Chains A and B, each alone.
Chain A
Amino acid sequence: MFNRTSKFGKAGFGKAGLLLCTAVLAAAPAILSPVAFGQTSASKAERWLHVRVVNSDNKGEIVRVNVPLELAESVLPTINKEHLHNGKLTIDQAHLNDVDLHALMNAVRNAKDGEYVTVQGSDQDVRVAKEGGRLLVHVKDKSRGDHSKHSEVEVKIPMHVIDALFSAGKDELDIVAALHALAAQGDTELVSVKDQDNTIRVWLDSKNVGD
């Protein structure tokens, strides 16, 4: 009996051990995968575009969208639908009322910092300016009378992002190039809209969750 056990231990268990080792080795990639350790492969330099819409009516709708710029940059060129092709958006000239956007942007690019448009009306205040390498558009709608019902729109776009956007052909906007340029930007707020019921915010940072 003892000999039998000894035999099993020397020869039999060797083969069984080999089989077990095979099973363990087969399982190793699954067990040792980064996911199993809860690691993320996302780099420190990743940039996220965040959109937050808060509707303060009785239901209190909140929409949060978080998109990694790298993901958007690599996925957009694969979408070929309607006006979007290879990451470029075709501009329909019929909706531009003969305004040459490229010439307009060239003029803005070459101009010095300062206020380009200032309109102060009874219904609306509009301000378009170039400051610190950014194009700023600020619109305040006062048509609702009561101060608390005024709406405000603020857009701050870095000039090099605008340059990248208009770097494609005459009737095209290069969305991918603009995203690429945006990725080089530090944390910044791009769009802010506030009115009586809604708050919309579009911003860029390195966090993978919105606020």
Chain B
Amino acid sequence: MILLAKVALGVASTVAFATVYTFREGVIRVDVDESRAGGSHVHVWVPAAAVPIAVHFTPSRHFQDAGEKLEPWLPTIRQLTKELQKYPNADFVDVQDGAQHVQVRTRDGKLQVDVHEPGQYVHVAVPIDTIEDVAGEISDHIPGA
């Protein structure tokens, strides 16, 4: 009985530790809602810590094209994410054009893009740390970078 309790507590602690580790960087959230008949509704929540790990283990050949296009912009992305961390709650771009509304802002340390237009709503929220980590992982895949 005591042994079982110890094992149960050990498992519970490990699960708690793994959960905290996985979600320590928050989640990447993508919501797409089309309000027309038959429109799609996509809601994706991904633990942010999992993405750089997934990128790390992805074979380099899959990043050849993206890496070449991204390479000149990697220093900019790194610097931008570093600076954005100083502004965890700020509005950067807001465009309203009739019924269309686009917002680029940071909320609670996440870079958030919201696009509202008649019949469609897109929301993307990515922790700023994750953008930096993914950029770093992609640069590791670029030969000579």
Contacts and interface: CB of A to CB of B under 8 A. Distances in A.
Interface residues of A, number: 42
Contacts of B95: 61-64
B76 A38 contact: no
A150 B23 CA distance: 57
B118 interface: no
A59 interface: yes
Interface stretch (A22-30, A107-115, A119-127, A187-195): A22-30
Interface stretch (A11-19, A156-164, A176-184): A11-19
A12 B7 CA distance: 11
A189 to B, nearest CB: 20
Interface stretch (B53-61, B80-88, B135-143): B80-88
A60 B76 CA distance: 34
B127 to A, nearest CB: 9
List of 7 A-B pairs having minimum Cβ-Cβ separation, nearest first: A19-B13, A16-B9, A59-B98, A35-B109, A64-B94, A78-B75, A71-B83
Given A60-B98, A67-B92, 20 more contacts: A7-B2, A8-B5, A15-B6, A19-B9, A19-B10, A26-B20, A34-B88, A38-B108, A41-B85, A41-B86, A59-B98, A61-B95, A62-B94, A63-B93, A63-B94, A66-B92, A71-B83, A75-B80, A208-B91, A210-B94
Interface of B: 1-2, 5-6, 9-10, 13, 16-17, 20-21, 23-24, 72, 75-76, 78-80, 82-98, 108-109
